[in-house]
Amino acid sequence: MPSNRPRGLKAEVFALRSTGILPASLSGKDDALSPFSGLDRNGCWEIRWTEGARLGIFHGMRGAVIEILRWGGGRKCRQAIKSLRNALLLLLVLMPLARGAEEVAHGLVRACSSIYPPPLEEVRYATTYNFTGHVLYPFPVVYLHRDAAAALQKVQEDLASQGLGLKVFDGYRPLPVQAKMWAIVPDERYVSDPLKSRGKHTRGTAVDVTLVDHLGNELPMPTGYDDFSEKAHRDSAKWSLEQRANNLKLEAVMQKHGFVPFPFEWWHYDLRGWENYPPLDISFEELARGVETAKPAD
């Protein structure tokens, strides 16, 4: 079994434990969770596949089988069967981590240093000024997959010829942050369910943007950023003529250079073919240190 610590959140553990499916102890003696679960730096549950975790699970399964054979029925037998079921459920969660996908080149680059003229950035998730009220990123930075950055370069060049430019709010998002957002707003119109799609921002191919003039002033848009209301939907009838014209201008240039508009958030665009890019879970700190590979999160 690999002994290296898999990166980031495994929200299945949180879901199993919070619903009571995952027991505090599998063996009845020791807390079998302690070797491999805990809170990560973002305050979210994560799993570490360690020798202690493996032994805890298999000792729990062995003990459950012994109890079943010993009692053959009754309350203790039922408890043993439940323990065995819990151990098997835990293995279903952990075995993908134990196999461990090969690390791949993540292809993430800093937007401000790979696009010219560099877009403005307003990374609210590095502050408390966001819909969660918490600091989610360790520092204000926007990372994108190099393919998304190359496409955004063409957008920025096109807009510069019109005296306009982009302001970028968000790009690549680590999986633990995606999970924390989902816990606060479990609505797939606005936040991807990390247990289903693993998200779009986690692939580095989604970008949240708006338009600015040559002085850096934002052009009037239908709502503020991360306004999770129907007015932010692209089919909303509540937009002013100016807001609609500005949004259509942004939408046209983004589509021209390979981005697909998201229907429920006027600011959100996905690089065409985003589903062909693996979701990643690599921290900003690792990216800042120059780590060039990551394990796919799916």
Residue 265 annotated in active site: yes
Q: Is the bond preceding residue 117 a cis peptide, omega within 30 degrees? A: yes
Contact 178, 202 (CB under 8 A): yes
The tokens for 64 are 């459950």
Find tokens 């003529």 and name the residue: 241
Choose, from 67, 230, 265, 275, the residue flagged as catalytic.
265
- 31/50 Cα distance (integer angstroms): 14
Residue 49 to residues 95, 175, 211, Cα–Cα distance (Å)? 9, 18, 45
Q: Which residues are catalytic, by number?
A: 265
